[in-house]
Amino acid sequence: MITDLRPLARKAKQKNYAIPAFNVSNLEMVQAVIRAAVAEKSPVIVQTSEGALSYAGDTTLYQIIKTTAETLGRSVPVVIHLDHGKHLKTVRRCLALGYTSVHMDASALSYQRNIALTQQAVIAAKKTKSSVQGELGAIFGQEGLLQLKKGFDYTAMMTDSTQAKNFVNKTGIDTLAISVGTIHGSFKGIERIDLARIRQIAKEVNLPLVLHGGSGNDPKVLQQAIKEGICIINIDTDLRLALLAGLRRALGNKMLARHIDPRAIFNASYAPMQAKAQAIMKLFGSSHQA
């Protein structure tokens, strides 16, 4: 069932687990994620980037998620979320479509401009009673503000706890995405999550904290990040890799490769994606929290 993020995030904060937020861009990904949530009895955030909306069409992709949530996912809480809304126009469009949560990401702009745009997103979201995620600090990697460069001190671009408190007070957001060393994409061995920084931000900010770039991190470190105050973790690359692995296996199967019906190939991608999503729900502690 489609629901409001805020009570789910508050519960996650109180009970010390994290809600997984999966990026999707087609029917197969949506169904795999929601089937996983049903199997694990877990709340789930199904989210779309601006790129995914451009690829599939904003109305089409929203309707796929909505219909799947209301049918396959009617027994679990499903949040429909815009991830990394860089443009206020996109945020407003998603709110008009029916998104229950939006991310206004103006983190690449000046601090004052970030506040101003996020405030406008909050005002727009009040009309539809949707929640707003703000972002403070640079999140690196393939979709982040900065590209990976050797020798650069990224700690200077991470979220400052005192500034985060001020940002939350000025904007009125519901959740806060923070930069603590994760990278968009899967960069095993490179990412170093600053657990002490999470702990300090959690002391200053009485809001559910969001960790972007969850793919490719040490599972034990992610669990520790949850203990320190992370309530939502974004997953994109891990799901994509599971999808590709399923498709490659299907295409390598001589029986399947002879099919002229593409559904036979696409069906093979369900199992690995659903299995990966379920494993993540168990890792984050969201299983049986629906």
Higher-scoring residue by pLDDT: 244, 260: 244
One-letter identity of residue 38: V
Residues contacting 38, CB < 8 A, separation 6+: 72, 73, 75, 76
Tokens standing for 142?
Answer: 């393939």
In this prediction, residues 93-117 reach a mean pLDDT of: 97
In this prediction, residues 153-179 reach a mean pLDDT of: 91
Domain locations along the chain: 5-284
Higher-scoring residue by pLDDT: 254, 149: 254
83 belongs to the catalytic site:
yes
One-letter identity of residue 207: L
pLDDT value of position 184 = 52
pLDDT over 90 at 173, yes or no: yes
Higher-scoring residue by pLDDT: 255, 186: 255
**Strand pairing category for 44-48 and 19-23:** parallel
pLDDT over 90 at 142, yes or no: no
In this prediction, residues 43-63 reach a mean pLDDT of: 97
46 pLDDT band, cuts 50/70/90, is: very high
pLDDT value of position 286 = 98
Contact 197, 158 (CB under 8 A): yes
In this prediction, residues 247-251 reach a mean pLDDT of: 84
How close are the terminal C-alpha atoms of the chain, in Å? 11
Place of tokens 């904060």: 13
pLDDT over 90 at 146, yes or no: no
Catalytic pick among 4, 58, 83, 238: 83
CA distances from 201 to 228, 229, 257 (A): 9, 8, 51
One-letter identity of residue 254: K
Over residues 111-140, the pLDDT tens digits come to: 999 999 999 999 999 999 999 999 998 765
pLDDT over 80 at 61, yes or no: yes
- The alpha-helical segments, DSSP class H, found in the chain are 5-15, 27-40, 50-56, 58-71, 88-97, 111-126, 161-171, 195-204, 219-228, 237-252, 254-257, 262-267, 270-284
In this prediction, residues 48-75 reach a mean pLDDT of: 97
> Whole-number mean pLDDT of the chain?
90
pLDDT over 90 at 183, yes or no: no
Domain at 5-284: CATH architecture: Alpha-Beta Barrel (3.20)
pLDDT over 90 at 187, yes or no: no
Higher-scoring residue by pLDDT: 183, 189: 183
Over residues 13-28, the pLDDT tens digits come to: 999 999 999 999 999 9
Q: What percent of the chain has pLDDT over 70?
A: 89
